[in-house]
Amino acid sequence: MVDDSSRERTVRGRKIRTDREQKRGRRGKKELARKAAAAGERNGDSPLVDPEEVVPEPFVETDAVSALRGRITGWLEADQPVHLIGPTGCGKTALALSAAAARGRPVVWLNGDESVDTAALVGDHAGGERYKEDDRFVSGVSKQTEIVRERWVDNPLSVAVREGATLVYNEFSRSDPSAHNVLLSVFEEGVLERPGKRGEDRSIEVHPEFRAIVTSNDAEYAGVHRQQDALLDRFVGVHIEYYDAETEREIVRAHTDLSDESIGTVVETTRELREDLEVVVGTRAAITAAKGLAVFDSDGSGVDDALLAEVFTDVLAPKVAGEEIDGLELTDLRARIGETM
């Protein structure tokens, strides 16, 4: 004769175990969802920056700088992406960040190089999390389910178009042109397609406040890629030359503690070398030379031609080290600088 109470205890115990497994499974699902939601914050998925935090420090305001920034912000107001083009060291990046901050919208920063591809712009799968659910729903039989949830991480372009931020894409032309195909639909149709993303949210509608500023060196610079004409046609190009002497003096003054006389000498020498040498002598070179003179002339004895020539030779030497540029070798650089001075 079968003991009914024993059977009841067995069934009841089995039911309790099943209920526990189901509860554990539900808890596991909730924990997985919680982890996935928090993963974005832990891994810094959002590159949004407050506009006041991106303003270059120090940043010099002169009539020339304000006029250029006004052109940039004017085109952005007209809903046109802006391409800043100019020689290295002329202040493109600082100007782009200042113009982006002036809009008062969040800013997303991106630096271009050979490693930037489409995924680096729009996003990619960043691994996944998994757990197993063990369900013993029949005596002697267990059902084991493995649940996997992939986590997608949006990269700068996706964040910028979704949030209506200003994208500042520095060194745009150093990235492979094929990575920029996704920009065509952004500028033309107002839609960003995210290759590799599955589901209904594969596309993002571009926020009406989204704007883009990209910077590039002139085409003759090493490491610069020619971008596709179809994309370049959607930009307006603002060409930036080196600033006038007054602005360059103000920029150098903002970065160093040299006397006005020494700053004037540095800027004048920079502008003469820019005309006479085959290498690029940008405003950045003037700032570096001024910082060097502030150290080497710390006793205030004055900046003579010999010290000035030595400093500029050190500043410009990396541009010709190990190679010959239009007949200018490293051994000739010091003599050429002396002749110019």
Cα torsion at 54, 57, 62, 64 (round to 10°)? -50
Average pLDDT over residues 244-269: 94
Distance of CA 79 to the CA centre of its chain: 21
- Report pLDDT digits (tens) over 174-214: 898 999 999 999 999 999 988 877 767 788 999 999 999 99
Give pLDDT, residue 157.
Answer: 95
Give pLDDT, residue 71.
Answer: 96
CATH says 1-241 is which class?
alpha beta
Q: Which class for 326: exposed (0-12), middle (13-18), buried (19 or more C-beta within 10 A)?
A: exposed
The 8 Å CB, 24+ separation contacts for 34-43 are 35/129, 36/129, 36/149, 36/151, 39/126, 39/151, 40/153, 43/126, 43/153
Q: Is the confidence at residue 129, as pLDDT, over 80?
A: no
- Report pLDDT digits (tens) over 216-250: 987 656 557 788 889 999 999 999 999 999 999 99
The residue type found at 321 is A
- For 13-17, 169-173, 277-281, 290-294, which range has the lowest pLDDT when averaged over its residues? 13-17
Q: Pairing between strand 191-193 and 166-170?
A: unpaired
Could you tell me the pLDDT band of residue 32, with boundaries at 50, 70 and 90? very low
Average pLDDT over residues 17-39: 48
Higher pLDDT, 105 or 335: 105
Q: Is the confidence at residue 24, as pLDDT, over 60?
A: no
Q: Please give the share of the chain, as a percent, with pLDDT higher than 90.
A: 48
Taking the domains of the chain in order of start, what are their residue ranges?
1-241, 245-340
- For 140-154, 218-232, 327-341, which range has the lowest pLDDT when averaged over its residues? 140-154
Give pLDDT, residue 320.
Answer: 77
Cα torsion at 170, 176, 178, 183 (round to 10°)? 0
Angle between helices 330-340 and 260-276 (to 10 degrees): 120
Most confidently modeled of 27-31, 43-47, 88-92, 282-286? 282-286
Average pLDDT, the chain: 81
Give pLDDT, residue 38.
Answer: 40
Give pLDDT, residue 150.
Answer: 67
Cβ atoms within 10 Å, residue 239 = 10
Which residues are 108's β-sheet partners?
Answer: 167
Rounded Cα gap, residues 142 and 21, in angstroms: 11
- Report pLDDT digits (tens) over 47-96: 899 998 998 888 999 999 999 999 999 999 999 999 999 988 899 999 99
Could you tell me the pLDDT band of residue 339, with boundaries at 50, 70 and 90? confident
- Report pLDDT digits (tens) over 312-331: 999 999 887 655 555 556 67
- Report pLDDT digits (tens) over 73-87: 999 999 999 999 998
Distance of CA 333 to the CA centre of its chain: 34
Q: Is the confidence at residue 14, as pLDDT, over 90?
A: no
Q: Is the dihedral of CA 218, 222, 227, 229 positive or negative?
A: positive
The residue type found at 184 is L
Rounded Cα gap, residues 166 and 98, in angstroms: 11
